[in-house]
């Protein structure tokens, strides 16, 4: 067996195991950690396909940023896993339909060679070819409008997140000494006069 | 030469697995001096801060106290690793590894001179950013797995700080790779060796630190915050603040400690490569060599120790304000300024 094939099967085995543990793990933090492992291994598989830019960005964006925030939330929420599992059997038919659909789609894509979907086979690139340069060139020439559109959508997302959580400017609690010196005890303190009550 | 004959000898012994053995040997040659450097950085820190505070520093173990870091290491190895009740044992023990491993793995792509690099990857800067961003898991996981609300809060605090400064650091790096037109660290260093001043023999004026001075300042401050060092040391204010590793003891704590210093050396090496011209000689009449790279790394490390002895600790809300409201807008503006500069006839990076 070629070394590359061995690496592929090794990474795939870890990937399948980690993905299974994501859905079967009882502890949500462990599930999130297995998802991190799955992302990391997937980036290794992509690296084998010579997509080094995508592989590194997967680690940088998903492992380095998204999953950290995900872990933050999962750790701070009080998740009761047993209550989450209550509806398992009633949701199973819907879930299995979606799963079957996904399997069908994936087999269409992965069996592309068999169904004659691809126009030509992917050519191997030389090691010196820079993935980043190629992607950058395409992104800023042929696909510049979709790219700009995607960035605007992201910007709207940022603005929306702030708009949803912004609660107005905080009241300033600093005191002004010039007003403070004019304060009199009478303004702040009211002395109540209560007649003594007779004991029963 | 000697290396060639050694290569042939090993090839004879190992046969087809020779490339693997040869790579492992190179990894050992990088990691072993690095770990020694980490040990002696702790010693050097205590000495330098001692001198700055008119003390002597460690001077009992060995001549001038030189065996002190070894003695500390042995002491930490001997101590018991206490695992708190109710803690998540597996995650508790994995967390220090998460903190330490990225600091070592990133060295795979660090070039030491034109040819001396373990893996000459095209996207090496991107690789380093990706690998170092994993280090934050060590902090969050150790805080969570300790089953202590103080460790948890400390972990949250440090992780939020690291993520905030990663953004500013990343934007500063984007400017650097814009002007050097490459993601390869070797090419970034080579691109600093040319320009108006380099032709006159004043190479140190054409390194990135001068034309990108604001980014250099942002980067230098961000790496201090990124490694959780004073004056941004929210993670371990021994007597004042409880940090994420409050429940760790013995070797498990020592790994966090080593991770901090390994990260310091890593970011110093990056500063030397990205802004200070790497192995390039500062003046024309001296040759480029490995020595310059090590001298620059040492200078940046000394800067770390110097500011630790000089500045009082920042307040946490001020740290976050500096990161989000000062550095990130500054970086974004400078990104546009440099972009316009490169498109104008005044472009100096052709």
- pLDDT tens digits, residue range B88-111? 899 999 999 999 999 999 999 999
Measured CA to CA, the distance from residue B280 to residue B284 in angstroms comes to 10
Whether the per-residue pLDDT at A117 is higher than 70: the answer is no
Mean pLDDT (whole number) for A105-118: 76
Q: Do B141 and A33 touch (CB under 8 A)?
A: yes
Residues 76-135 of A with CB under 8 A from B: 128, 130-132
Mean of pLDDT values over B224-236: 85
- Per-residue pLDDT for A122 more than 70? no
Q: Percentage of residues in chain A with pLDDT exceeding 70?
A: 91
C-beta separation of B146 from B152 below 8 A? yes
**Phi, psi of B241, deg, nearest 5:** -120, 140
Q: Tell me the average pLDDT across B68-90.
A: 91
* The pLDDT of residue A190: 87
| Residue corresponding to tokens 């269409």 | A108
SS3 B78: helix
Among A151-165, B6-20, B187-201, top mean pLDDT goes to A151-165
Average pLDDT over residues B23-47: 93
> Stretch B191-214: mean pLDDT, rounded?
85
- A178-187, B123-132, B270-279, B305-314 — which is least confidently predicted? A178-187
Which positions in chain B touch A71 (Cβ < 8 Å)?
137, 140-141, 144
Query: B133 exposed, middle or buried (CB, 10 Å; 0-12, 13-18, 19+)?
Result: buried
CB contact set of B259 (below 8 Å; sequence gap of 6+): B96, B99, B100, B103, B135, B138
Q: Which parts of chain B fold into alpha helices (H)?
A: 2-14, 18-52, 68-78, 89-105, 124-132, 136-145, 149-180, 185-191, 196-199, 213-226, 250-274, 290-310, 316-321, 328-343
Helix axes B213-226, B250-274, angle to 10 degrees: 170
Q: What is the distance in angstroms between the Cα of B342 and the nearest Cα belonging to chain A?
A: 17
Task: Judge if the upstream peptide bond of residue B149 is cis by omega within 30 degrees of 0.
Answer: no
A73 touches chain B (CB under 8 A): no
Contacts of A27 in chain B (CB under 8 A): 88
Stronger pLDDT, B91 or B20, i.e. the higher one: B91
DSSP string for residues in B188-257: HHHHTT-SHHHHTT-GGGSSTTTTTHHHHHHHHHHHHHHTT-TTS--S-BTTTB--TTTT--HHHHHHHH
Please give the distance of CA A26 from its chain centroid, rounded to a whole number.
20
Q: Which residues of A touch B91 (CB under 8 A)?
A: 29-30, 33
Cα distance between residue B248 and residue B142, in whole Å: 9
Give residue B57's region: left, alpha or beta (phi > 0; psi -120 to 50). left
Place of tokens 């750790």: A75
Q: Whole-angstrom Cα distance, residue B223 to residue B165?
A: 8
Please name the residues in contact with B143: beta carbons below 8 A apart, sequence gap of 6 or more. B151, B152, B153, B154, B155, B156, B158, B159, B244
* A80 class by beta-carbon count within 10 Å (0-12 exposed, 13-18 middle, 19+ buried): exposed
Separation between Cα atoms, residue B184 and residue B152, nearest integer Å = 38
> Quick one: pLDDT at residue B1?
65
Query: Which tokens go with B338?
Result: 């440099």
Whether residue A159 lies within 8 A of chain B, CB to CB, comes out as: no
Q: Which residues of B touch A60 (CB under 8 A)?
A: 126, 129-130, 133
**Partner residue facing B123 (CB), from A52, A68, A128:** A52
Q: For residue B75, what pLDDT is reported?
A: 92
* pLDDT recorded at residue B113: 86
Give the contacts of B113 (CB within 8 A, at least 6 positions apart).
B279, B288, B289, B290, B293
pLDDT of residue A189 exceeding 90, the answer is: no
Inform me whether the pLDDT recorded for B141 exceeds 70. Answer: yes
pLDDT band at B283 (very low <50, low <70, confident <90, very high): confident
C-alpha R_g of chain A = 30
pLDDT of residue B202: 84
Question: Residue A114: what pLDDT?
Answer: 72
Question: What does residue B107 show for φ and ψ, rounded to 5 degrees?
Answer: -70, -10
* Alpha-carbon Rg for chain B in angstroms: 22
Please, what sign has the CA dihedral across residues B207, B209, B215, B220? positive
Q: pLDDT-based confidence at A183, cuts 50/70/90?
A: confident
Q: Read off the pLDDT band of A121 (50, 70, 90).
A: low
The lowest-confidence range among A58-72, A111-125, B97-111, B248-262 is A111-125
Q: What is the mean pLDDT of residues B72-89?
A: 90
Q: Are B192 and B277 in contact (CB under 8 A)?
A: yes
Q: Could A72 and B159 be called an inter-chain contact, meaning their C-beta atoms sit closer than 8 Å?
A: yes
**Is B91 within 8 Å of A130 when comparing Cβ atoms?**
no
Q: CB–CB of B163 and A29 under 8 A?
A: no
Token output for B296: 């620059």
Determine the average pLDDT of the residues in A44-62.
90
Residue B241 bridge partners (DSSP) = B237
Point out the residue among A33, A56, A75 whose CB comes nearest to the CB of B123.
A56
Predicted confidence at residue B115, as pLDDT, reads: 83
Cross-chain residue pair B91–A64, CB shorter than 8 Å: no
A36 interfacial to chain B (CB closer than 8 Å): yes
d(CA A103, CA B52): 67
CB < 8 Å to B20, chain A: none
Consecutive H or E run containing A140: helix A131-140
Ranking A76-85, B88-97, B228-237, B287-296 by mean pLDDT, the lowest is A76-85
Can you tell me the distance from the alpha carbon of B331 to that of B209, in angstroms, rounded to the nearest whole number?
Answer: 15
What is the pLDDT at residue A84? 74
Q: In the predicted model, what is the mean pLDDT of chain B?
A: 89
Does B179 or A81 have the greater pLDDT score? Answer: B179
- Cβ of B133 and A75 within 8 Å? no
Residue B317: predicted pLDDT: 85
Give the span between the Cα atoms of A115 and A109, in whole angstroms.
9
CA atoms A131, A133, A134, A139: torsion sign: positive
Residue A164 pLDDT level (bands cut at 50, 70, 90): very high
Which B residues in the span 73-92 are in contact with A, Cβ-Cβ below 8 Å?
Answer: 88, 91
Chain B CA closest to residue A3: B17
User: Rounded to the nearest 5°, which phi and psi values hold at A140?
Assistant: -100, 5
Q: Select from B116, B240, B125 the least CA-distant residue to B174.
A: B125
Could you check whether the bond before residue B231 is cis, i.e. omega within 30 degrees of 0? Answer: yes
Mean pLDDT of chain A: 86
> Which one of A53, A60, A61, A129 makes the best mutation probe of the B interface by having the most chain B beta carbons within 10 Å?
A60
């Amino acid at each position: 067996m070629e070394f590359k094939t061995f690496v592929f099967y090794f990474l795939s085995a870890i990937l399948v195991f980690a993905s299974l543990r994501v859905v079967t793990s009882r502890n949500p933090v462990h599930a999130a950690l297995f998802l991190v492992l799955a992302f990391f291994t997937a980036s290794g598989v992509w690296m084998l396909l010579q997509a080094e830019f995508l592989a590194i960005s997967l680690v940088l964006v998903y492992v380095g940023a998204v999953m950290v925030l995900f872990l933050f939330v999962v750790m701070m929420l009080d998740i009761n896993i047993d209550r989450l599992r209550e509806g398992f059997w009633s949701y199973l038919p819907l879930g299995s339909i979606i799963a079957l659909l996904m399997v069908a789609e994936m087999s269409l894509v992965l069996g592309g060679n068999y169904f004659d979907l691809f126009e030509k086979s992917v050519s191997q690139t030389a090691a010196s070819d820079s993935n980043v340069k190629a992607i950058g060139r395409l992104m800023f020439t042929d696909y510049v409008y979709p790219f700009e559109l995607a960035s605007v959508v992201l910007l709207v997302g940022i603005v929306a997140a702030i708009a949803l959580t912004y609660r107005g400017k905080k009241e300033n609690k600093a005191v002004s000494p010039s007003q403070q010196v004019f304060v009199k005890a009478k303004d702040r303190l009211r002395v109540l006069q209560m007649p003594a009550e007779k004991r029963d | 030469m000697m290396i060639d004959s050694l290569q042939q000898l090993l090839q004879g012994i190992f046969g087809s697995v020779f490339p693997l053995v040869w790579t492992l040997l190179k990894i050992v040659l990088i990691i072993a001096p690095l770990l020694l450097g980490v040990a002696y950085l702790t010693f050097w820190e205590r000495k330098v801060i001692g001198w700055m505070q008119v003390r002597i520093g460690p001077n009992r173990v060995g001549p001038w106290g030189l065996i002190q870091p070894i003695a500390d290491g042995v002491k930490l190895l001997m101590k018991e690793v206490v695992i708190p009740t109710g803690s998540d044992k597996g995650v508790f023990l994995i967390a220090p590894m998460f903190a330490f491993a990225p600091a070592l793995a990133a060295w795979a792509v660090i070039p030491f001179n034109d040819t001396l690099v373990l893996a000459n990857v095209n996207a090496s800067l991107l690789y380093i950013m990706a690998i170092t961003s994993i280090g934050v898991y060590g902090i969050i996981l150790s805080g969570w797995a300790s089953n202590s609300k103080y460790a948890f809060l400390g972990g949250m605090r440090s992780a939020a700080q690291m993520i905030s400064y990663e953004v500013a650091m990343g934007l500063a790096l984007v400017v650097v790779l814009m002007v050097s037109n490459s993601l390869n660290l070797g090419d970034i260093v080579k691109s600093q060796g040319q320009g108006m001043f380099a032709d006159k023999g004043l190479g140190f004026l054409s390194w990135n630190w001068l034309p990108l001075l604001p980014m250099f300042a942002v980067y230098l401050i961000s790496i201090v915050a990124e490694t959780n060092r004073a004056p941004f040391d929210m993670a371990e204010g021994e007597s004042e603040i409880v940090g994420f590793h409050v429940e760790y003891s013995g070797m498990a704590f020592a790994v966090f400690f080593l991770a901090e210093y390994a990260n310091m050396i890593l970011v110093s090496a990056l500063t030397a490569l990205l802004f200070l011209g790497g192995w390039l000689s500062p003046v024309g009449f001296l040759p480029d060599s490995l020595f310059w790279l090590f001298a620059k790394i040492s200078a940046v490390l000394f800067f770390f120790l110097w500011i630790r002895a000089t500045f009082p600790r920042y307040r946490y809300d001020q740290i976050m304000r500096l990161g989000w409201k000062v550095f990130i807008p500054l970086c974004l503006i400078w990104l546009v300024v440099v972009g316009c500069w490169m498109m104008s006839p005044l472009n100096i990076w052709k």
